[in-house]
Amino acid sequence: MGLSYSQLQSGAYALILAEERGPRRIPVIIGAAEAQSIAITLENIRTPRPLTHDLFVSFAHAFGVKLKEVFIYRFEDGIFSSELTFSDGSRTVQIDARTSDAIALALRTHTPIFTTRQIIEKTGFIIDEEELKRDSDDTVEDSVAHDSDEEATYADRDDYHAEPRPENFTIEELERTLAALIDNEEYEEAERISVILKRKKDNNNSNTET
């Protein structure tokens, strides 16, 4: 839902999660670096070079792996514990993660975030919408500061798709995708994949020569 300066810990931020069909909100205390990564996505900003979370998403997409869900499964001693569920279509795996990292990835891949009723009842509270909006507008802008030699540029949030992007496929995956499209007589999409494949092969040959 938004970010706000943490009143409990200096230099930290409170990430506010909103109950989808309810009035309760859950505050998650995160560090400045994680807040910046999340704020960049909330504000639809594209950095000139990928951040760590962007790189992780591109890596997963390159191998046809999708993030299916984020599950915040425990709250203990003031710390939320989360689990990521990944799938490549034939195999599903769960990986433990920091909640801030899990949410940063979920935002980039439009992945649903779940938790338990017990955690909502234990940590949730009702907050004034206008007050939260004012806090978020002020702090998100501050938290997306960039290095002086890199200027952030705005881009369509659809740059980060839940579906794997062909541009991130390996040559072998592109060849298999192209063959399947031709078999299905999807010639327009096959032409697009063919262009991507040719460009990737040309780049690969150029790198090999140098």
Are residue 125 and residue 189 in the same domain, yes or no?
no
Tokens coding 88 = 């490549």
Are residue 85 and residue 188 in the same domain, yes or no?
no
Please tell me the pTM assigned to this model: 0.61
Q: Is residue 140 part of a domain?
A: yes
Running along the chain, 210 residues long, what does each successive block of 10 average in pLDDT? Answer: 73 86 87 89 84 91 92 93 94 95 94 93 77 52 39 39 62 82 82 84 66
Domain count within the chain: 2
d(CA 14, CA 7): 8
d(CA 159, CA 109): 10
Are residue 92 and residue 191 in the same domain, yes or no?
no
Are residue 107 and residue 13 in the same domain, yes or no?
yes
Q: Is residue 164 part of a domain?
A: no
Give me the sign of the Cα torsion angle 79, 112, 17, 54: positive
Are residue 133 and residue 178 in the same domain, yes or no?
no
Q: Which of 125, 121, 135, 102 is nearest to 13 (CA)?
A: 135
Question: What is the tens place of the pLDDT at every residue in 132-184?
Answer: 555 555 544 444 433 333 333 333 434 444 455 677 677 877 888 888 888 88
Are residue 93 and residue 185 in the same domain, yes or no?
no
Instruction: Provide the domain limits for residue 199.
Output: 169-209
Are residue 174 and residue 149 in the same domain, yes or no?
no
Are residue 21 and residue 123 in the same domain, yes or no?
yes
Are residue 176 and residue 149 in the same domain, yes or no?
no
Average pLDDT of the chain?
79
Q: Which of 7, 44, 23, 38 is nearest to 154 (CA)?
A: 44
What values do phi and psi take at 106, rounded to 5? Answer: -60, -40
